[in-house]
Structure 1
Amino acid sequence: MDRKLLDLLACPTTRQPLRPADARVLHDLNAAIAGGAVKRGDGSPQSAAVDAALVTADGRLAYRIDDGIPVLLAEEALDLTTCGITAA
């Protein structure tokens, strides 16, 4: 993702800066998704694997990137804390 764009983006809920999720976080996130442990901000389950994501500065929320476009909607946020993922 372009660094200039990344510098402009922020979490719609917490207003924290966002950073790309590293390979370990993506691996852990996809394992948790496969196990049915990941919920979106609206409470619905995340069933599809994530190829790329942006993580808040505190590592508590992730936003998937679909076809190069960040999905920055509060109801689409993936709560990493409820599935035991540490992204800080």
Structure 2
Amino acid sequence: MSVDRHLLQVLCCPITHQPVRPLRRDELRLLNERIDTGELLYQDDTPVSGPVRDGLITENGERIYLVEDDIPVMLEERCISARAAGLKT
């Protein structure tokens, strides 16, 4: 994960204010598999394009935020439902 660990300590979901943690490798694999189907959407209903190298997930496992060029994109409209990504049942 390329996000500074000190930054991770202060980052939180803009919707729920939950802390976030880096996605594990298995979670990234599942996320990329869903992206490959072309059915995964951001909160604003635009398609997610991949592959994704880094991401953050809320502590409650509900929302995923991508990290692009080492910068976490913590925007409400750019989050991904973990349930839609197959990470939460």
Task: Identify which of 58, 66, 78 aligns with 2:68.
Answer: 66
State how many pairs are aligned.
87
Residue 10 of structure 2 is matched in structure 1 by 8
Counterpart Cα distance in 2 of 1:66 and 1:43: 19
Residue 80 of structure 1 is matched in structure 2 by 82
Deviations 1:59-85 (A, max 9, x none): 111100011000000110011102322
- Following superposition, the deviation at residue 48 of structure 1 comes to 2.2
Counterpart Cα distance in 2 of 1:49 and 1:21: 14
One-letter amino acid matched to 1:20: P
Q: Which runs of 5+ in 1 are unaligned?
A: none
Percent sequence identity over aligned pairs: 37
CA RMSD, 1 decimal: 1.4
TM-score of the pair, normalised by structure 2: 0.90
TM-score of the pair, normalised by structure 1: 0.91
Counterpart Cα distance in 2 of 1:47 and 1:4: 28
Q: Tell whether 2:59 aligns with 1:38.
A: no
Counterpart Cα distance in 2 of 1:51 and 1:84: 17
Task: Identify which of 23, 28, 39 aligns with 2:25.
Answer: 23
